[in-house]
Structure 1
Amino acid sequence: MEFDRNKVGRVVKEDRLSSLPDELIHNILSSFDMKFVVQTCLLSSRWKLLWTSMPCLNFTSWQFTSLPKFAKFVNHVLSHHNHQLEVSTVKLYFTGAASQVFVRKIVKYAFSHKVQQLTVNGSAKYRLTNYPPCLFSSHSLKHLTLTGLHSPCITPKTPWDFPALTTLHLSHITLCEDDTEKSLDLFSKCVNLENLTLELFSVGNVEVFDIITPRLSNLMLAHGDSCSAVINLIAPQLEKLTVISFSFKYLNAPPGLSSLFYWGRPPLQFCKDRFYSLNEVTICFNSFGSRYKEEDARKTMNLLQELHSARYLTLHVDIVKCISSFPYLLSHHPSPFSNLISLTIDYRLNRDAYGEELSTEARNFLLENSPSATLIMKSP
């Protein structure tokens, strides 16, 4: 094959990257840290000022030798950004004891520029109450992530006002430490909230924690710190509930729940006759102590009775072994499951039990009313 050297030369000399539209270049650079973005833009005269019009500002302190230098860089970017252009996303990741002025300035910038997505992942010593009050009444935010706020703080007396918010993720946070507060309601004004994640958090001595969200569809409660409160989920559209290592006194869940995942200590208590449309259910109790007790077996069977509508059920093997240890209890209770398509016994946390046959009493209790259901043994 012969090549036209003149055509090849023209292709090599042509700067195709610089001919890309600004919008596409912004999309490419938005996945990088702003320090890298600024450095990259300096490589081309065509790109020289592109960093001043970035719609997504991603700041990380890891590439700086000190927080003051990082703060100076952030201030430089914010002050030189084209204020006539929209900023949709601001992300801030920092380690160490950042000054309150530094973080507050970024939050105020996000508020004044009607940012739709804000992420602040910072020092565990930075208090929630250090944030400017305007943050908790933003009408533009759709996605908010706050993490690294595990020091004590007192929540506002009124619910947070985020009418446009659809996704909220709070991590390493104490929501309330006021001993005079008996109940807590933070989310009732978040009328469009669909996804809520609370992890590594505490609600202090609050007796009732109300999660009032009319459009919430996905809720995760993970690694709660000794929470003895009653959790009221007033969320009629909630479909998926995930609870991981989170202790509570009582959980009042909505009846229309479709997916339930629970991993934690027994017992797990729900209101009676709450669930009528469960599709996927996974239950794992990570500790029954040194031996199975009749009281634990009774509570576990009561829980399984409440999950009667499940179609795809996964149980940790210790749950099955617990109820199997008291066959006379099983013989006095009919099988609650009439909709099962599959039952999975998970052996991953108890390798020694793998290979043991399911007792006749346990098999009847779990599968008698769903004879066509598939039984799956998940190996370690």
Structure 2
Amino acid sequence: MMPILTNDKCAGFFSAYANLKDLTIKNCRMVGGLDGFNICHAGLTSLTLEDGPEDVNVNVDTPQLKNLNIKQWRRIHLISTPNLSSLHYKYLSYNYYEDEDDDLLQLSTDLLHLEKANICINYKFEKNGAAHKIVCLLQQLHSVKSLTLNLELVKHLSSHVELISHQPSPFANLKSLKIYPVCVTQPKVTMSNEVKNYLLDSSPDVILTMVSYEIEAVMNVASARNLMRELQVLLDQWKECCETNTVHVKQDKAPMKSRFHERMTRIESYWKDLNEPFQKGSKNTRRIISMLREIKGLLKKLPGSHNAKLQARFSGLLRPRVSWII
């Protein structure tokens, strides 16, 4: 969906739905020269923001929010989310600008109940100032119990250990730390001792999981194969449904030798029967497109040897079906 937000009264818009618990905003765009909006809701518990405009500011004031998912959206400011327990923040094309202080996630609230945080930030171009912003963000997650970071972020911190070498670890409640690579085609990197101390020194019993490039590649291959199998089943079902509906349409085109009202009854029944598979087909189309994008994203992450084999399988899966998909 693509919401078009026309003024800064969105706070009133969202709060008007008193029973709203789960809100998702994707591919939002602003009109009228405005540069942001507010999400204010007393009862909202789950919020997802994906693929937002580059220069749109979002202020979040949701005191009951439990789950927050942010993907590819800059300039988000958490004003009041004291009950947040799960945070997933993903920005794979972060580009640091020296004159911008609010491009990464901003917090003006203590996250004292934070159980899980998954922070994935990958840079277009590595710059010194970006590391400082990462450290500031991590410090604000000091209450987290389970933390997941991407290895590329850790690599960037390891190149700027002067920012953390004299600071105590902020993670006194940490029980689990997982570090994994986003892109398995990049050269291997290791975590410096300074970064390891910064992340672990305040939690001696923490369980550290380092996912290697090889393991991540195997996991991506398995995920791609599973999605392809699921896609094949869905495409076969859709083809069968299309062929069945074609037969029904041909049968319904037979001439009707009856009175006018009988013809109208037949026509109404025909369109009623046709509406159900149309709605189902629309839902299946959205699911297929979503799966195609997910598979494409996984294939981009794979090393050449795995990529070539799965690309061939992927192409073979789609080629015979192009005529009836279109």
> What range describes the TM-score normalised by the shorter chain of this pair?
0.5 to 0.7
Q: 2:5 is matched with which residue?
A: 175
Residue 218 of structure 1 and its aligned partner are, at CA, apart by: 0.6
Give the alignment of 1:179-190 within 5 angstroms.
181-182=7-8, 184-185=10-11, 186-190=13-17
Q: 1:225 is matched with which residue?
A: 53
Q: 2:112 aligns with which of 266, 276, 280?
A: 276
Give the alignment of 1:178-257 within 5 angstroms.
181-182=7-8, 184-185=10-11, 186-204=13-31, 205-229=33-57, 231-248=58-75, 250-257=77-84
Q: 1:263 is matched with which residue?
A: 90
Q: Distance in 2 between matches of 1:365 and 1:223?
A: 32
Q: Distance in 2 between matches of 1:254 and 1:193?
A: 16
Q: 1:300 is matched with which residue?
A: 134
Note closer, same or farther for the CA distance 1:208–1:252 as it changes in structure 2 (3 Å cut).
farther
The one-character-per-residue Cα deviations of 1:230-273 (angstroms, maximum 9, x if unpaired) are: x2222111000000111226443512210000111365232345
Unaligned residue ranges in structure 1 (runs of 5+) = 1-170
Q: 2:266 is matched with which residue?
A: none
**Higher RCO (C-alpha 8 Å, min separation 6):** 2
Q: 1:168 is matched with which residue?
A: none
Q: 1:340 is matched with which residue?
A: 174
Largest Rg, 1 or 2 = 1
Give the alignment of 1:10-89 within 5 angstroms.
none
Q: 1:375 aligns with which of 208, 220, 226?
A: 208
What is the Cα-based RMSD across aligned positions, in Å? 2.0
Q: 2:190 is matched with which residue?
A: 357
- Report if aligned partners of 2:59, 2:76 keep a CA contact under 8 Å in 1: no
Q: 2:199 aligns with which of 355, 360, 366?
A: 366
The one-character-per-residue Cα deviations of 1:302-334 (angstroms, maximum 9, x if unpaired) are: 000001111110101111111110122211221
Note closer, same or farther for the CA distance 1:366–1:326 as it changes in structure 2 (3 Å cut).
same
Q: Distance in 1 between matches of 2:54 and 2:186?
A: 31
Note closer, same or farther for the CA distance 1:173–1:272 as it changes in structure 2 (3 Å cut).
closer
Residue 175 of structure 1 and its aligned partner are, at CA, apart by: 2.1
Partner secondary structure for residue 286 of structure 1: strand
- Report if aligned partners of 1:293, 1:322 keep a CA contact under 8 Å in 2: no
- Report if aligned partners of 2:161, 2:194 keep a CA contact under 8 Å in 1: yes
TM-score (norm: length of structure 2) = 0.58
Identity %: 34
Partner secondary structure for residue 284 of structure 1: strand
Note closer, same or farther for the CA distance 1:227–1:192 as it changes in structure 2 (3 Å cut).
farther
Note closer, same or farther for the CA distance 1:220–1:182 as it changes in structure 2 (3 Å cut).
closer
Letter paired with 2:53: D
TM-score (norm: length of structure 1) = 0.50
Letter paired with 2:130: D
Q: Distance in 2 between matches of 1:296 and 1:182?
A: 30
> When you count helix as a share of all residues, which structure comes out higher?
2
Residue 275 of structure 1 and its aligned partner are, at CA, apart by: 1.2
1:311 aligns with 2:133: no
- Report if aligned partners of 1:232, 1:253 keep a CA contact under 8 Å in 2: no
Q: 1:322 is matched with which residue?
A: 156
Give the alignment of 1:85-124 within 5 angstroms.
none
Q: Distance in 2 between matches of 1:353 and 1:280?
A: 29
Q: 2:227 is matched with which residue?
A: none
Q: Distance in 2 between matches of 1:298 and 1:183?
A: 34
